[in-house]
């Protein structure tokens, strides 16, 4: 592929630049902190949260392309980069501005790494199911062509099924391996692109309300999973507003946060350090590994954890992954009621 982009930012570079250290003369470095120890490194936004070919898709013939990386960098991030100064200045936002903001927030929700492994885990079961269907089809066709009941019975035997399965595996192995590789590179980018192209979703974004929260006091933190779905009313409650049951939250800069959900009225509001500490605690809890900060002086006083708060998005996801399905069985043996 011509002009191939190898270095893809999981978290946008222009976004990371908002967290550059205020104490540095040239303000070119940002702090990446371990979510547990709060210790970390100072690095440039150019080199933070970068992975080679993160969004690159591979076709069955081996060719590669990166439409999602191109769309994000040249459209979504560019438009948001131009809009952010207006938000920082507290200017009224037009319908187009509001949709730009919502689109950016949704891509921040979809683009991060926590989506990738669960999505990839769907590939092998799907290919296994496809193999079984091919074997079933071959056995069904072969049994129809057998002249006697004995031959038809043999066609449905376990030994015959193993024979057909081995043939299918031998003939399809290389193709399925190529298909699996292609799907593994495509499934997450396809999900990100879907969030950008669904027409009905774009219409909804024009009217879906949100608050831009201006911070007076302790700065906000971001993370490797900056945008999450939140249900904690202590974070979603603002004076004079209905409290959403659920909302998207996303830090935009150390001094601005996005909170979007039904029940709010679109506009700006200002909050204090206690709210920030609750917000930072939820951002920290939802992070996979790293926090983003504009200082290395972050300590536990930056976080306010409430034991009565609902589960975080990450806790809900981990819980759903760990819960094994309950398999109900029925028996016709002694004592059965069926």
pLDDT(331) > 50: no
pLDDT(179) > 70: no
pLDDT(202) > 60: no
- pTM score, whole prediction: 0.78
Query: How large is the average pLDDT for residues 127-152?
Result: 65
pLDDT at res. 328:
37
pLDDT(204) > 70: no
Query: How large is the average pLDDT for residues 178-194?
Result: 73
User: 113-127, 280-294, 299-313 — which is least confidently predicted?
Assistant: 113-127
pLDDT at res. 201:
58
pLDDT(198) > 70: no
pLDDT at res. 157:
73
pLDDT(330) > 50: no
Separation of alpha carbons 209 and 213, rounded Å: 13
pLDDT at res. 126:
64
* Residues contacting 43, CB < 8 A, separation 6+: 29, 30, 32
Q: Where are the beta strands (DSSP E) in 224-276?
A: 228-230, 247-253, 256-260, 267-271
Q: pLDDT confidence of 284, banded at 50, 70, 90?
A: very high
Percentage of the chain beyond pLDDT 70 is 74
User: 101-115, 171-185, 288-302, 303-317 — which is least confidently predicted?
Assistant: 171-185
pLDDT(121) > 90: no
pLDDT at res. 68:
87
Residue of higher predicted confidence among 129 and 92: 92
């Amino acid at each position: 592929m011509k002009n191939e982009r190898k270095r893809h930012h999981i978290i946008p570079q222009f976004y990371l630049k908002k967290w550059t250290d205020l104490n540095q003369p040239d303000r070119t470095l940002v702090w990446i902190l371990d979510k547990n120890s709060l210790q970390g490194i100072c690095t440039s936004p150019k080199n933070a949260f970068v992975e080679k070919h993160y969004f690159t898709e591979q076709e069955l013939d081996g060719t590669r392309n990166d439409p999602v990386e191109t769309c994000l960098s040249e459209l979504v991030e560019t438009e948001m980069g131009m809009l952010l100064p207006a938000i920082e200045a507290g200017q009224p936002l037009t319908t187009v501005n509001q949709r730009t903001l919502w689109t950016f927030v949704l891509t921040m929700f979809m683009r991060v790494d926590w989506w990738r492994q669960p999505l990839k885990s769907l590939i092998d079961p799907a290919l296994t199911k496809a193999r079984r269907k091919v074997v079933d089809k071959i056995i069904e066709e072969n049994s129809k062509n057998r002249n006697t009941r004995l031959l038809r019975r043999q066609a449905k035997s376990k030994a015959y099924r193993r024979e057909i399965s081995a043939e299918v595996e031998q003939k399809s192995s290389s193709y399925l391996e190529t298909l699996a590789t292609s799907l593994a590179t495509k499934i997450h980018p396809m999900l990100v692109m879907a969030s950008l192209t669904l027409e009905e979703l774009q219409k909804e974004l024009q009217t879906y309300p949100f608050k831009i929260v201006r911070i007076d006091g302790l700065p906000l933190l971001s993370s490797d999973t900056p945008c999450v779905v939140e249900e904690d009313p202590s974070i979603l409650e603002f004076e004079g507003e209905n409290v959403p049951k659920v909302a998207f939250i996303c830090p935009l800069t150390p001094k601005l946060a996005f909170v979007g959900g039904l029940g709010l009225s679109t506009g700006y509001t200002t909050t204090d350090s206690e709210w920030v500490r609750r917000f930072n605690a939820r951002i920290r809890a939802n992070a996979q590994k790293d926090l983003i900060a504009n200082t290395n002086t972050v300590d536990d006083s930056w976080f306010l954890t409430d034991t009565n708060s609902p589960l975080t998005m990450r806790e809900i996801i981990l819980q759903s992954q760990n819960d094994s399905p309950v398999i109900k069985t029925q028996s016709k043996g002694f004592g059965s009621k069926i």
